[in-house]
Amino acid sequence: MALIEYKNVNISHDEKYVLKDINFTAEEGQLIYVIGKVGTGKSSLLKTFYCELDIDSCDTATVLGRDLTTIRRKEIPALRKEMGIIFQDFQLLHDRSVFKNLEFVLRATDWKDKNDIRSRIEEVLQQVGMESKIENMPHELSGGEQQRISIARALLNNPKVILADEPTGNLDQETADNIFELLKSISEQGTTVIVTTHNMALLDKFPGIVYECEDELMTMKSEKE
């Protein structure tokens, strides 16, 4: 069963179409790219998945078993808990350590036991190669290290889907390659990863399914896996 399925979905903003007639499917363990120029609707598409932006109309719009046409506001936090979201600008809390950043997310999602929290934080930091930075402050980390911490944050609740919006937009090519190598390995472990990017070099190095947004439409370009 598809984790995300869109059939003839329309997204509009201020009475103007952002994307129309979207047909999109995401299944378990896939690495999916959404490419296109700035302003073609890539980020808007991701925002509809976690109900930050409403869809306009559709034949089908389901995300992790929920029908987006009937979902209630009170049900959205549970949906978002099954997703991990990675931003271009990291969005770390700069007044607290790496540990405290991750602890904040776990406590906000109903983790209570201190030992469980510490154990889970150490586990995700090890997964992204950042276990030695657990007590560092964000400003003490490079851009690539901060993005690895944001990936660790996205992994905390064992999400079924990770959404990464231009995750390497502020990074040099070598660091971007390292981040995508990590995202690829996460998808190979069974978590679906959906990435918006304009870095075309990455698509050849880390093949996946490619959709392109252009002129209010989104089309599948290739299905390399």
DSSP per position, 165-208? ESTTTTS-HHHHHHHHHHHHHHHHTT-EEEEEE--THHHHHS--
Decide if 31 is inside a domain: no
Decide if 136 is inside a domain: yes
- Containing 126, the helix (H) or strand (E) segment is helix 114-127
Range of the domain at 108: 93-157
Decide if 86 is inside a domain: no
DSSP 8-state code for residue 39: T
Decide if 42 is inside a domain: no
Decide if 46 is inside a domain: no
- pLDDT number for residue 223: 65
- Name the domain count of the chain: 1
Decide if 73 is inside a domain: no
Q: What is the pTM of this model?
A: 0.93
- pLDDT number for residue 161: 97
- pLDDT number for residue 93: 94
- pLDDT number for residue 48: 97
Decide if 127 is inside a domain: yes
Q: Which residues of the chain have pLDDT under 50?
A: 225
For residue range 170-212, list pLDDT tens digits in order. Answer: 889 999 999 999 999 999 999 999 999 988 888 989 999 999 9
